[in-house]
Structure 1
Amino acid sequence: MSADGRFTVALIGASGLLGRAVAAELASAPGARDWRVVRTARSRADAASVKLDLLDHDAVRGFLRELAPDAIVVAAAERRPDVCENDPALARALNVDALSVIASEARALGAWVLSISTDYVFDGTSPPYSPGDAPAPLNAYGKSKVDGERALLASDPSSCVLRLPLLYGPFSEWNESAVTSLTPAIVKSADPANPPASMDAWATRYPTFTPDVAVVIRGMLEHRAKGATISGITQWSGDEPMTKFDIAQGIARALKVDAKLVAQLTPTDATPRPRDCHLDSGRLEALGIGRRTPFDIAIGGLLAKYPDVSPQ
């Protein structure tokens, strides 16, 4: 606890898509006065956050020792599969080595760590996946996240991993999420002068709204603050199976555009991706933790908030 008795949370990666949602939830939730949330960011640090590069291990150690948080939420990672495939050393540096440093310091400080992981730890051949199922990643991104999970839990078994699928939410750029990144092509295809947009209809995803995930994370932190630590592997997922073709149709409905879309029935990504990694969320549901906003409602409300952001 901080000197004033508040529960102190270090939110690592607060400027990202998920980090911003978590910061907003912790600031606006009932009982927010009982929280002290210290945000960190690297390239997008502002007056409300601490600039912190996870590759600078000494800086990470110094930050955590000075803050002495009760809990650490690690929402920062290298999560772009193509980048990880082309630079596995960078993927490991961010997704494994930096997390190991955080875990070691947290153990010494008695802080609880909640680290964000991914459904890409699985190969997508036998969904749904429970937390205890054996990982079998298909690409460097998934492998780095599995190694990060193992490093964290080996350092401190009381820490926790939260696996998540495809995320979308309030954005600053279309390409912050693989969901909203489809929007420019959707809008462009509605122009009669342009050809149809090809959309993947092979892989099934479960788009999950970041404000919903933020509610999940707040619930997990509240358990910790009350002394009921959640440890090991946990998972949360939206419950609507959708291909990118389905997602694109939903975006077109929300924008009220007559998009011309073509279903691509075979994988075309250079980096292998799993076909269906549906995550079983039962463990958190049993604790009464969670919220799911229907995709059409979430994407409609989301796109309506950004009338000034025009696809290029």
Structure 2
Amino acid sequence: MTRNAAFKVALIGASGLLGRAIAKELAGVAGWTLVRTAHSRRDAQSVKLDIRDAAAIGDFIGRESPDAIVVAAAERRPDVCENDPALARALNVDALRFIANAARDRDAWVLSISTDYVFDGSAPPYSPDDPPSPVNAYGRSKLEGERALLESGAKACVLRLPLLYGPVLDWSESAVTSLTPAIVKSSAPLAPAAVMDAWAIRYPTFTPDVAVVIRQMLGRHARGETISGITQWSGDEPMTKFDIAQRIARVLKVDARLVAQRTPADSTPRPRDCHLDSVRLEALGIGRRTPFDSAIASVLARYPEPTQTLKSQ
């Protein structure tokens, strides 16, 4: 695809943890125009869009006529998906179908974010071609969303990602940074120890790195080298939440009292190890990985204040 006009990207879900990183990465690309959307957490630079509204999506894509659409909006909380499957379906399946149908009519490429939770975690590492087998409602909804997109007839690509962390508006925004208050509290005199999961193996992945991957994928599309089907990207450092907590404690220089929980304790079932094979993108020269210790140090540099504030958004 070669166009004389500026390359236009629509970023749907620009206000979330990953969406903000993508918006920052794409904002300065010469010759590209970025249109951002958000729903409840909208700023002056974003268009308000409810992705559950098919007509609104059609109007937005028809009006903006983007060359590419990045879908970073979703319901990502496993417990919420388990307790409200209708909401999970509306945001993770139906909305993606609406976007895909509108994109197909405008010949726009859609890049949608998915998850490692489409796998059951019993036989890692997983390639894009391995058969999915999700163990919870979140994974099932994301898998159904992948299929809705890829079967829509639109130009489309799925990017599966694992546990994400990065600059946050609130420490609870990432399952990595959400551990921090309990870690710090456990270091206080007479405070109880913080119990941390030491069963599930995760591969925390830095959102600014993912944003670089997405920019590189968009760049290939802009040059007429469109990537289709399923792709995956992941950090390469395996660790449990107990391991993550120990590293956070070292960064903050607190004498945390941590207890390892070596059996599953979550009410919603979660897979044990869904390590994603990133070889397809690596073979294309795509990717960047920031070492966890340096990345989490940058995120925690202003603890206890988040790295950004709601007022700035």
Taking the aligned partners of 2:201 and 2:226, their CA distance within structure 1 comes to 33
Q: How does 1:194-205 map to 2 (within 5 A)?
A: 194-205=191-202
Tell whether 2:91 aligns with 1:94: yes
| Pairs aligned (count) | 306
How far is 1:308 from its partner? 3.2
Q: How does 1:1-312 map to 2 (within 5 A)?
A: 5-28=5-28, 32-156=29-153, 158-306=155-303, 308-309=305-306
CA shift in 2, pair 1:111/1:309, >3 Å: closer
Q: Deviations over 1:250-307 (max 9, x none)?
A: 1101111110000000011000000000000000000000000010010011111455
Q: Deviations over 1:96-127 (max 9, x none)?
A: 00100100111110000000000000000000
How far is 1:7 from its partner? 0.4
CA shift in 2, pair 1:126/1:303, >3 Å: same
What TM-score does the superposition give when structure 1 sets the normalisation length?
0.96
Give the aligned partner of residue 310 of structure 2: none
Q: Work out whether residues 158 and 232 of structure 1, in 8 Å CA contact, stay in contact via their aligned partners in 2.
A: no
Q: Work out whether residues 100 and 154 of structure 2, in 8 Å CA contact, stay in contact via their aligned partners in 1.
A: no
Gaps of 5+ in 1: none
Could you say what secondary structure the match of 2:159 adopts?
A: strand
How far is 1:33 from its partner? 2.5
Q: Work out whether residues 169 and 211 of structure 1, in 8 Å CA contact, stay in contact via their aligned partners in 2.
A: yes
CA shift in 2, pair 1:4/1:227, >3 Å: closer
CA shift in 2, pair 1:17/1:137, >3 Å: same
RMSD: 1.4
Q: Work out whether residues 157 and 232 of structure 1, in 8 Å CA contact, stay in contact via their aligned partners in 2.
A: no
Q: Work out whether residues 235 and 283 of structure 1, in 8 Å CA contact, stay in contact via their aligned partners in 2.
A: yes
Query: Which runs of 4 or more aligned residues in structure 1 lie more than 3 Å from their structure 2 counterparts after TM superposition?
Result: 305-310
Gaps of 5+ in 2: 308-313
Q: Work out whether residues 206 and 278 of structure 1, in 8 Å CA contact, stay in contact via their aligned partners in 2.
A: yes
Q: Work out whether residues 157 and 231 of structure 1, in 8 Å CA contact, stay in contact via their aligned partners in 2.
A: no
Could you say what secondary structure the match of 2:277 adopts?
A: coil
Could you say what secondary structure the match of 1:238 adopts?
A: coil
What TM-score does the superposition give when structure 2 sets the normalisation length?
0.96
Taking the aligned partners of 2:242 and 2:177, their CA distance within structure 1 comes to 13
Letter of the structure 2 residue corresponding to residue 112 of structure 1: W
Letter of the structure 2 residue corresponding to residue 6 of structure 1: A
How far is 1:158 from its partner? 3.3
Q: Deviations over 1:15-44 (max 9, x none)?
A: 00000000000113xxx1211000000001
Letter of the structure 1 residue corresponding to residue 71 of structure 2: V
The percent identity for this pair of structures is 74
Q: Deviations over 1:174-204 (max 9, x none)?
A: 0100000000000000112201100000000
Taking the aligned partners of 1:97 and 1:197, their CA distance within structure 2 comes to 39
